[in-house]
Amino acid sequence: MEVDKTKKSWSLTATIALAFGVLSSVVLLIFSCFEMYFHYQTERQNIVVKQQLIAREAATKVANFVQVKFSKLDSAVMIGELATAPIKEQEKILGILLGREAAFRHLVLLDPGHQELAKASRLSQSSWKTFMERFGEDLISQVMTGHRYFSSIYVDLVTSEPLVVMAVPVTDVFGDIKRLLIAELNLKFMWDLVDRLKVGDTGYAYVVDRKGNLIAYGDTARVLRGERLDDLQSVSEFIHNPMNRVDTAARICTGISGNTVVGTYVALETPDWAVMTELPIKEAYRQVMRNAMLSVCMLLVMAISAGLVGILVARRLALPLLDLTETSTRISNGDIGLQAAVRGPVEVVSLASAFNKMTQRLRTMLDMEEERSRELATEVEQRKKAQESLQESNSVLQATLESTQDGVLVIGENGQISLHNKRFSEIWSIPEDLLIKGEDRLIVDYVLPQLVDPEQFTAKINELYLSSDTSLDILHFKNGQILERFSCPLQKQSRETGRVWFFRDITERIQREESLRITQFSFDRAAVGIYRVRSDGKILEVNDKAAEILGYTKEEMSRLFIFDIDPLVDRENWEPLWKTLNEQNGLDSFETIHRSKDGRDTPVEINSNLLEYGGQQYSIAFTLDISERKRAEEELRKLRNYLSNIINSMPSSLVGVDEKGNITQWNRTVEKVTGIPADKAQGRSFSDILPWMASEVKNISKSIRSQQVIHDRKRSRLQGDGTLYEDVTIYPLVTNGVEGAVIRIDDVTDKVRLEEMMIQSEKMLSVGGLAAGMAHEINNPLAGMMQTAEVMTSRLGDNFYIPANRRAAEAAGTTMDSIQTFMNEREIPRMLDTIKESGRRVAAIVENMLSFARKSDAMVSSHSIEELLNKTLELASTDYDLKKHYDFKLINITKEYEANLPTVPCERTKIQQVLLNIFRNGAQAMQEAAVMVPRLILRARYERDRDMVCIEIEDNGPGIDEEVRKRIFEPFFTSKPVGVGTGLGLSVSYFIITENHDGEMAVESHPGKGAKFIIRLPVGGKRNECSS
Amino acid sequence: MNVPVKKVLIVDDEMFVRQSLADYFEDRLWCTIEAESGEQALEILDRESPDGVIVDIRLGGMDGDTFIREAYKKKTTMAFVICTGSPEYNVPKDLLERTGVHDQIFRKPIKNMGEVEQVLSQMIENLKPKKD
């Protein structure tokens, strides 16, 4: 039942389904074609009728446009009585008409003799004569016969606009033609109309004249270009059928834009134009296309359904046949017992029965054949087995001989080699050809030189050949190889027929034994204790040293467990320890304590290694007595502690850095200064932790490089509200190649301040000395000047009681009154005042300077600081300046006095002078800076530790910058404009406080944050005063 | 004119100072005598007998203090007013003990010459009854 696969065969199902599908599709196709054709015909008729209607409507609109213009002309003729009206009136009417109708460009009224009577024009230059030249004759002949005239189109050369000329006769009441009214009409105004004509959705209309010129169209550019369209089918039909005044049928043709359209046209009577309408064919036949598409879709759906029905029917028919086919396929594959199913149509049923009979007969034949072949096979099998077993025993023998590690040599009766294996020739390195000869003698000769003791070897052989003993001995080779030789006689029917020799290479075994001996020796004599411990903590074996460390014998130790010698480990926590050891890849190193036999604890370091053999885990532990090391470490720790205590108790900030600038040492002082604890600073970069020291990093590396100490003195930095001064010293480290440096930072702010003050005092004193000498020299000429000025004032003034004045006036022939008048007129008194005032200022300067020189000669008495401050405030409050709008009373004053202040011995007026000076300076500064709420805070407190009363005067003015602050107490240093202050005020104050009262005076300020003056006065008074 | 004219001797080495004082006192109808040194003033005292003396301390030759002591030896009824430009100057004790020497020192430049005149007049008045 083989199917011929080379010939392409169709399945029954496919054939039936295809036939069914094709048949129904053909029927449907024919039906659809008819349906579509009829539908198309009907639709086409509809389109033609619709297009004609649209064209006619468009034509009416265009005709109307022209008609309206004619009627306007007519009405002008009628209403304006143009035939009779005077020329002025006529011109006016034409003007009005031109104004009303934008499409007219020219209006001209002619008399029958062609003379112009009146005209109106939109153009400055009247060009009516040009169109008269063109159309004149035609026009006049037509109008004079009482007809209207409508010219052909022409184009204005300037504006490119299409124009026509129209004319009507002007008749009087009797109907006689009296005049002609001619108008030039601009067709541009028709374009809009044409553009607005609706032809479907995408269709359009245009107008052509009889010559085929395009007159109006949506695309005005084409009109202006003056296109001729006589090549279009519709247009040429219009041109060539002048008599056709009826509608033409719509047709499919090429449209004005070059696309395919359904076009039609309607010819107008007057003017002789045609309105063309075109509807793109896409739109016109949209409905038809849509129907056609629908039909095709339906056809497809129906064809597919028909195909599906076909497949179903075919399946049903083919099923029993397929069954039969499957059965026969399975029989051919060997399933002979199968019977085909008998069902389906009659033809198939009879086919199946016949098929079943045929298989029945074939089965019987096959069974007989099988019985015969089985008998044959059994016989062959038996023979084969016998042969195989023989071969097997042979090869087993051969394999055994070859697979043994021993060299085997069998010597027969006559000294011939009867058997040997490959291993034998390898061990003795005997060449193949020698073996083939088979002479034992030759082989012995060959091997002798390899041996250490050949005589003994040959003696042994000879001895053995004479006896029937077995023997075992060792052979040493010159190259170090060692062989074990075994020999036994070969017997056949209890008769010796030769000897069998076995040679075994035992070189490696001997070497292993040697190395084991060495290992054992090392183990026994090792300087560290070695333990072998079982997984349950049992000590299996120890070496001498291990026993010695703990004072046990080796035997005693091998009875103990680890927890017997290690007090830190007990039976319970042994297992987790073992597990940890396992997890660490069997390696562990730790320190612990071992207890010796006499109960003494010894610190030990253990190195434990995990060893696995025979399925058991062991720990091999090396134990080192570290008592000595521990003691050294303890000592080192103490020393380090001691050194660190020294470093920490240093009053300077000490910072150690390595060569990279990372902090290695951080003492307690620097912790206190920076507020950064040592553990936070360690390892961090120096410039990160002490950013204001960043500039020192360069110096640090320089110092390390050059191994020289670097000093950086009086570095200033801002901290809180004050300036801090620090001395920085960098010491390079030179110990044991450890590179780095120690940085020492000392806060020298107090020292710097003291220095500043000392410099200040020095300056004061030198000024003082100078002043004393100078004062006398200045005062004398000053006295001459000022006193003379005073006398002059009295002589020139109105002091009438000075008789000399009056006498002098009389002698000069004048009176004191007129002199007085003259004086006042020339402002002499003011000038004298100027001299006196200037003199007074010089005197004040000298006086102030003398304050530095004058030794304390005034009265010192005890005063309450509180009272002094209050009194001075009272004095200051009277101080105001109208010109500068400065009033001390406007200042908000806060008093913060400590209770029970001790009295201070001082010069009352001097201290008041100082306080007043500070109040004024502060008030002026605040006023100048226009501080909104000026404020002065006065504080007084007793500083017990120094036995001084401290006065603080704080303002919220503009503050003082660092430059000014440093120099503020210098004589003649002033920040005020020239003339406002002598620059002596604060220096005098300073002198009074520091020199006269042994006190202190300082100022703290930051620009923008106000200034604070601090005065300290000793409660015990001036020292030398006390002593005297 | 029944008020007797008072006579004042002005001792000062600085001419302008001397002159300004003299001008002032003349205007107030004093009779003035000028001397530019102590020595010259002592000579004048031999001829004249002024009621008051205005003395500068630092003078070219002998100083003001010495002059007063010398002058006292000649006449005891004169009023002395000390007027100096030296800031450290204090009237010596022995001079203060004498009635004619005023304890107030006028520092140069004299701020108010009227005060000098007043002090001097007062002293002259005080000395007169003794004389009587």
Per-residue pLDDT tens over the stretch A158-174: 777 778 888 888 877 77
How far B107 CA lies from chain A's nearest CA (Å)?
9
**pLDDT at position A248 over 80:** no
Report the 3 state secondary structure along A572-589.
Answer: HHHHHHHHHHHHCCCEEE
The whole-number pLDDT of residue A1028 equals 32
The whole-number pLDDT of residue B131 equals 42
Tokens representing A535 are 């997984």
Q: Which of B5, B12, B14, B23 to mutate to test the interface with A (most CBs of A within 10 A)?
A: B23
Q: Is the peptide bond before B109 cis (omega within 30 degrees of 0)?
A: yes
pLDDT tens across A91-130, in order? 888 888 888 877 888 888 887 777 777 778 777 665 667 7
d(Cα A209, Cα A235) in Å, to the nearest integer?
9
**pLDDT at position A723 over 80:** no
Tokens 């390390």 appear where?
A704
Mean pLDDT rounded to a whole number for chain A: 81
ipTM of the modeled complex: 0.84
Are B109 and A795 inside 8 Å of each other by CB?
Answer: no
Q: Which of A774, A777, A779, A785 to mutate to test the interface with B (most CBs of B within 10 A)?
A: A779
Task: Select from B15, B58, B113 the Cβ nearest to the Cβ of A790.
Answer: B113
pLDDT tens across A413-422, in order? 777 887 888 8
Are A786 and B16 inside 8 Å of each other by CB?
Answer: no
Q: Percent of chain A having pLDDT more than 70?
A: 91
Task: Select from B15, B20, B108 the Cβ nearest to the Cβ of A791.
Answer: B20
Q: Which residues of A698-711 are buried (b: 16+ CB within 10 A; e: fewer)?
A: ebbbebbeeeeebe
pLDDT tens across A438-449, in order? 778 888 888 888
**pLDDT at position A337 over 80:** no
Residue A950: which pLDDT band, with cuts at 50, 70 and 90? very high
**pLDDT at position A757 over 80:** no
Residue B80: which pLDDT band, with cuts at 50, 70 and 90? very high
At A451 the three-state DSSP class reads strand
In 3D, which of A857, A932, A933 has the Cα closest to residue A893?
A: A933
Residue A246: which pLDDT band, with cuts at 50, 70 and 90? low
**pLDDT at position A6 over 50:** no
Are A775 and B108 inside 8 Å of each other by CB?
Answer: no
- The H-assigned helical ranges of A448-506 are 454-466
What is the side-by-side strand order in the sheet with A587-595?
A539-542, A529-534, A616-625, A601-613, A587-595
The whole-number pLDDT of residue A1 equals 40
Any idea what DSSP says for residue A993?
I
Helices B64-74, B38-47: crossing angle, 10 deg rounding: 20
d(Cα B55, Cα B11) in Å, to the nearest integer?
5
Task: Select from A776, A787, A804 the Cβ nearest to the Cβ of B17.
Answer: A787
- Report the residue of chain B nearest A771, measured CA to CA: B87
**pLDDT at position A798 over 90:** no
Residue B132: which pLDDT band, with cuts at 50, 70 and 90? very low
Task: Select from A772, A787, A853 the Cβ nearest to the Cβ of B110.
Answer: A787
**pLDDT at position B1 over 50:** no
Per CB-CB distance under 8 Å, the chain A contacts of B58 are: 776
d(Cα B125, Cα B117) in Å, to the nearest integer?
12
How far B130 CA lies from chain A's nearest CA (Å)?
31
Per CB-CB distance under 8 Å, the chain A contacts of B86 are: 775-776, 779
pLDDT tens across A384-415, in order? 887 888 888 888 888 888 888 888 888 887 77
d(Cα A858, Cα A155) in Å, to the nearest integer?
126
pLDDT tens across A630-667, in order? 899 999 999 989 988 998 888 888 999 988 888 988 98
The whole-number pLDDT of residue A151 equals 80
How far A774 CA lies from chain B's nearest CA (Å)?
9
Are B20 and A790 inside 8 Å of each other by CB?
Answer: yes
In 3D, which of A478, A418, A488, A423 has the Cα closest to residue A453?
A: A478
- Tally the C-alpha atoms within 13 A of residue B104's C-alpha that lie toward its C-beta: 11
pLDDT tens across A348-377, in order? 788 888 888 888 887 777 887 887 788 788
The whole-number pLDDT of residue A243 equals 64
The whole-number pLDDT of residue A763 equals 67
pTM: 0.35
Any idea what DSSP says for residue A144?
H
pLDDT tens across A47-75, in order? 888 888 888 888 888 888 888 888 888 88
Q: Phi then psi for A723, rounded to 5 degrees?
A: -100, 135
pLDDT tens across A263-317, in order? 888 887 777 788 888 888 888 788 888 888 888 888 888 888 888 888 888 887 7
- Report the residue of chain A nearest B88, measured CA to CA: A854
Q: How many CB pairs under 8 A join A and B?
A: 82
Residue A481: which pLDDT band, with cuts at 50, 70 and 90? confident
Q: Percent of chain A having pLDDT more than 90?
A: 5
Residue A4: which pLDDT band, with cuts at 50, 70 and 90? very low
The whole-number pLDDT of residue A856 equals 47
